[in-house]
């Protein structure tokens, strides 16, 4: 597994920084956002360090990306977003990415949301 010892999400995967886990398997970790935008706000990350969505290669990552996206409805429902949810992947500085480890936000719950 590829890791970056300076990456906060890699440290969460390694158990060096605590998180409130929503899901974990061999490939992914999902945890609650520390500054949620909605009643349900979970981050889904691959355990393998990939800085951005733009750093993925379809020949290597298509399956992983599909499994990551397919996990969103399950997590949204388990966390209480029964009437819909958003999935967001911010990519690069112009895309609003703050942590350079690929991650998908799963955001849902009653509106209005505090942000976005």
**CATH superfamily ID and name for 8-108:** HIT-like (3.30.428.10)
- For the question of residue 41 being annotated catalytic, the response is no
Q: Is residue 87 within 8 Å of residue 72, measured between CB atoms?
A: yes
Distance between CA atoms of 88 and 68, rounded to whole angstroms?
Answer: 12
pLDDT in tens, 57-90: 999 999 999 999 999 999 999 999 999 999 999 9
The structure tokens listed for 90 are: 């911010």
Q: Which of 41, 49, 101, 103 is catalytic?
A: 103
The dihedral formed by the CA atoms of 18, 5, 34 and 25, expressed in degrees to the nearest 10: -60
> Bridge-partner residues for 87, per DSSP?
106
At residue 108, the pLDDT reads: 94
The structure tokens listed for 70 are: 């397919």
Q: What are the residue ranges spanned by the domains of the chain?
A: 8-108
Distance between CA atoms of 90 and 88, rounded to whole angstroms?
Answer: 6
pLDDT in tens, 15-47: 999 999 999 999 999 999 999 999 999 999 999
């Amino acid at each position: 597994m590829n890791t970056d010892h300076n990456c906060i999400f890699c440290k969460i995967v390694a158990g060096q920084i605590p998180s409130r886990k929503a899901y974990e398997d061999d490939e992914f970790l999902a945890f609650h956002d520390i500054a949620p935008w909605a009643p349900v706000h979970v981050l889904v990350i691959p355990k393998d360090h990939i800085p951005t969505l733009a750093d993925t290669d379809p020949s290597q990552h298509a399956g992983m990306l599909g499994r990551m996206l397919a996990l969103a409805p399950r997590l949204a429902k388990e966390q209480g977003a029964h009437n819909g949810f958003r999935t967001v992947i911010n990519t690069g500085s112009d895309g609003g990415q703050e942590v350079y480890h690929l991650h998908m936000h799963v955001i849902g719950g009653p509106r209005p949301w505090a942000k976005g």
